[in-house]
Amino acid sequence: MGRRFLVERRRDPYYRAAQREGLRSRAAFKLEHLNATYTILEPGDRVLDLGAAPGGWSVIALAAVGRNGSVTAVDERSLEPLEGLERLRGRVGSPELARRLEGREFDVVLSDMSPRISGAYSTDHARSAELVEAAFELARGTLRSGGRFVAKVFDGDLVKGLERKLASHFDEVRRTKPPASRERSSELYLLGFGFQSGRASE
């Protein structure tokens, strides 16, 4: 981790706020904004949080769904315990994880997953699109009818194809970039509302 990155992070108001408020990561503010703008999370929802470590989105999701809801956090890395949070170790895209979730149903599937950054933009964009594909494949088997889906992707020429795929399974699809995303970052979020499980796959 370079000195420049550490200096920029210390100056980042979202990073400082996350540290101050115990939100585990600055990414928490991204979900907080998305939820305030689009009402992704509702009291009583069952939420599947993919690529959850270190748990920033899980903190926000737990607060939003309340005591009658639930949050299941999935990551290959270990997650620190959090009251009310179900933790699953697993890789998104693996048949084993799909089997472990078989028969379960969620109101919301979230994915803030990012690929390991190679520095080659076309490669990183393609890998981020693959993560969205893997998250959506898992969502197709676990989302209830009418459910919601959120996934991060790096902007690029594959985004329109992802939007078309989501549009074939959701009543409404949006793309957005929360204020907490760094200005120079190419990340954006694809949102799907009104999942229709009976629609034909592409």
∠ CA 38-167-156, nearest 5°, is 85
Rounded Cα gap, residues 91 and 147, in angstroms: 22
CA distance 75 to 94: 12
Give alpha helix (H) positions in the chain. Answer: 3-11, 13-21, 28-38, 56-65, 95-101, 121-142, 159-167
Instruction: Choose between 76 and 10: higher pLDDT.
Output: 76
Annotated domain spans of the chain? 26-195
Identified catalytic residue from 30, 152, 160, 177: 152
The order of strands in the sheet holding 106-111 is: 85-89, 70-75, 46-50, 106-111, 143-154, 187-195, 170-176
Looking at the DSSP bridge assignments, the partners of residue 188 are: 153
Name the token pair of 92: 């998104």
149-174 average pLDDT score: 98
Which are the contacts of 149, defined by CB distance < 8 A and separation ≥ 6? 108, 109, 110, 135, 136, 139, 143, 166, 170, 190, 191, 192, 195
152 is catalytic: yes
Least confident of 11-25, 114-128, 136-150: 11-25
Q: Which two tokens stand for residue 175?
A: 């793309």
pLDDT digits (tens, 9 = 90+) for 84-105: 999 999 999 999 999 999 999 9
Pick 22 or 123 by higher pLDDT: 123
List beta partners, residue 192: 149, 173
- pLDDT given at position 25: 61
Domain 26-195's class?
A: alpha beta
Instruction: Report which of residues 106 and 200 the model is more confident about.
Output: 106
Distance CA 4, CA 53 (A): 24
> Is the preceding omega at residue 54 within 30 degrees of 0, hence cis?
yes
Task: Report which secondary-structure segment, H or E, holds 47.
Answer: strand 46-50
For residue 89, what are the β-bridge partners? 75
Q: Give the pLDDT confidence of 13-69 residue by residue, as tens digits.
A: 444 444 444 444 668 889 999 999 999 999 999 999 999 999 999 999 999 999 999
SS3 114: coil
Residues in the chain: 202
